[in-house]
């Protein structure tokens, strides 16, 4: 398998799981309101809003998937967004007061999810870098 195909596989995996999560939040928000300690119509609207945000955030991932080398900026943006998400979730979990088991569990799942995505995107970045970029990194 070529480096480009491997990169697309890793990017595509992250994009697939991100979009799957977004669609689940949009289609069945009632299944997730409890995990965020929300309820009722307001809770469903908040979960759906997160689904919309997930879709918006994945635009660079889609461009990176089309061609990780030609759309390298999109791949870097996706990596940065993934890293910010992971760091933010770690801070959220660290600052969450005791007594919020559903929120803790949900945040921990997002940490694992985004951590795996960050590793995949890092792999895609590494294998698609040009010889010039690799040489600059050695300096």
Task: State the Cα torsion 6-9-11-14 to the nearest 10°.
Answer: -140
Closest CA to 107 of 120, 122, 91: 91
Secondary structure class of 38 (helix, strand, coil): coil
| Cβ(118)–Cβ(82) below 8 Å | yes
The residue-averaged pLDDT of 58-69 equals 97
Reported as a single tens digit per residue, the pLDDT across 77-110 is 999 999 999 999 999 999 999 999 999 999 999 9
Dihedral sign for Cα 24, 88, 117, 73, please: positive
Q: What six digits make up the tokens of 26?
A: 């949009």
Distance, CA of 40 to chain centre: 27
The pTM for the full model equals 0.88
- For the chain, which residues make up each domain, given as ranges? 3-126
pLDDT band for position 138 (cuts 50, 70, 90): low
């Amino acid at each position: 398998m070529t480096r480009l195909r491997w990169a697309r596989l890793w990017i595509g995996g992250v994009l697939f799981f991100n979009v799957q999560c977004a669609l689940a939040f949009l289609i069945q928000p009632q299944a997730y309101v409890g995990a965020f300690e929300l309820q009722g119509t307001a809770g469903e609207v908040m979960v759906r809003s997160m689904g919309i945000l997930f879709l918006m955030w994945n635009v660079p991932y889609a461009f990176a998937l089309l061609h990780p080398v030609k759309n390298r900026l999109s791949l870097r943006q996706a990596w940065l967004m993934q890293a910010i998400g992971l760091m933010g979730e770690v801070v959220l979990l660290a600052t969450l007061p005791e007594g919020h088991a559903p929120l803790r569990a949900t945040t921990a799942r997002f940490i694992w999810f985004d951590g795996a995505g960050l590793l995949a995107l890092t792999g895609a970045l590494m294998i698609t870098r040009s010889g010039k970029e690799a040489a600059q990194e050695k300096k």
